A and B are shown apart, each in its own frame.
Chain A
Amino acid sequence: MRGVAIPKVCGIETEYGILVRGQVPDSTSNPVSASSLLINAYLASVQRRAKFDLVDEHPGTDARGFQVDDLLAPEIETQLVNAVLTNGARYYVDHAHPEISTPECLTAMDALHFDRAGERIVEASMAAANRMLPEGAEILCHKNNSDGKGNSYGCHENYLLAREVPFARIVQQITPHFVTRQVVVGAGKVGCELPGSSAGDVPFQLSQRADFFEEEVGLETTLKRPIVNTRDEPHCDAAKYRRLHVIVGDANMSETATFLKLGATALVLAMIEDDALGDDLALANPVAAIRQVSHDPTLQRTILLRSGRRATAMEIQWSLLERARRYAETHGLGAVGEDSGLRTLSLWEGVLTGLEADPSTVANQVDWVAKQRIVEGYAERHGLRPGDARLKALDLQYHDMRPDRCLARRAGLDVLTDPEAVERATTNPPTTTRAYFRGRCLAKWPDDIVAANWDSLVFDVGRDPLRRVPMMEPLRGTAESVASLIDESDTPSDLLARLGA
């Protein structure tokens, strides 16, 4: 029996931590304006041709053209930057953080490349912004999820699902994975941010985010965060598709972790879509469990299942992996891509095997292990106790986007990406989703596109009305179907005529 699960088109949205240091104008001192400056500086220096606003959740709103020439004009302070790049990504200010959403990707391996490209873009943005700031002043970004003081910001994943899959099934069956996948993909955190906890209670935990989840399921993303988020905004044909908006993950520095976070989750979702997973791993109390798992780097404590059975997070991950292997045999890996799927199964097994035998053997793959080794090694060498600020500084600097300050870069983490492909991905879109059409059109006709949206482009062809090209199918508009059309069109009018629009 072949699976009927649809391709697990996926992407990652990362909110970066941002810090301004040194003497800067008042207009740059708050995180919103600093984020704007950061992104505008990048657009001005690198992607000059791709400047414009995105009219996203409000398709009736007028597009406001962002003028690079106004970079330092006063109005920049209040304008929330919202741009789409030629690689199909969205780069914007959200909740006082700079945020990058990767373009839609067909596989976890593609999404990993665009996530890494996002890091490069942030690095380039910091350099460009700092050139514009007074001597001694700088903007720093961190790819993390918490400031250690109870404030958290997200790294969200998105997966395409068929609309007909009952949402109750998704919630029931994905939750055990979301609660236990931290053992593989947790980014690690020094200390605990639950109200009333002290440094000695939880010196180190698996996840940046687990302390901030208070509900099993819900719509919120900034308060009372739920393990399964119900935001129903598919950005494509809502009659056919659902976009599962996952807010429960950490921002990863390890490529293996980013890849497995997406690859394993896409596989579990494909199993759910094909109704091949089952309900027997359902947890009795997911919110308590997600914290307990995070707070237990020994990986030994058990959590209670609804069936009355107890299991460790490792046992649940093993069970999911075994089911995924069986699923690959019975249904194939078409939904997640054969190569990405096989790589996921093999890396997932390798990491679980290593964690079980001796976690230090996967310090090159698992963020929390890599970070814990640095923190504990440093504490031991200098005789530091839990709660010492230097240990928290190590945690923060693990995620530092300054290449010369980033500890993750020095931690010997495995590289899965092709560096040239990552470089290309900073300016070129993926070829196998609609992001190709978006990115190519933006690169070729930046002045003729007045608005770009996940599911449409709006062209100004010099006469009324504006021409809107809907892109309601995530897998249409690929290189295979439109590359030659775009190549052969000299103007947007040409293109629209050829598209039959």
Chain B
Amino acid sequence: MAERTQKQKPAPSRTEETVEDAPAVAGSGDKLKAELDDLLDEIDDVLETNAEDFVKSYVQKGGQ
């Protein structure tokens, strides 16, 4: 997973510049990053209160 995180920024220096210098024209990648941060902020309210029990109880019969 660490590998993956690094790969997400193929040109880190340029990306940083873009973010600092021209936030108004931030690309969709930056917008998504901000949205992800917002989502992670609220996720504890959304996530099942007892995730372990929820996952354990999530048993389905096989289908097609």
Contact = CB atoms under 8 A, between A and B. Distances in A.
Is B truly associated with A?
A: yes
Interface of A: 15, 17-19, 21, 31, 94-97, 99, 146-149, 151-154, 156, 203-204, 221-222, 247, 297-298, 357-361, 363-364, 372-374, 376-381, 389-390, 392-394, 396-397, 404-405, 407, 410-412
Given A298-B3, A393-B48, A97 B60 contact: yes
14 contacts: A95-B64, A147-B59, A147-B60, A154-B64, A297-B4, A298-B3, A298-B4, A358-B9, A364-B32, A376-B1, A390-B47, A390-B52, A405-B46, A407-B43
Nearest to B59: A147
Contact of B8 (A247, A359, A396): A359
Interface size class of B (residues with CB under 8 A): 35 or more
B13 interface: no
A448 B48 CA distance: 46
Contact of A393 (B10, B36, B54, B59): B54
Given A147-B60, A151-B60, A357-B10, A404 B46 contact: yes
A200 B24 CA distance: 41
Main secondary structure on chain A at its contact with chain B? Answer: mixed
A147 B60 CA distance: 6
A412 B28 CA distance: 11
B39 A407 contact: yes
B35 A31 contact: no
A96 B63 contact: yes
B40 to A, nearest CB: 5
Interface in B19-48: 27-29, 31-33, 35-37, 39-40, 42-43, 46-48
Contacts of A222: 62-64
Contact of B52 (A380, A389, A410): A389
Given A389-B56, A407-B46, 6 more contacts: A147-B60, A151-B59, A247-B64, A374-B36, A393-B48, A397-B48
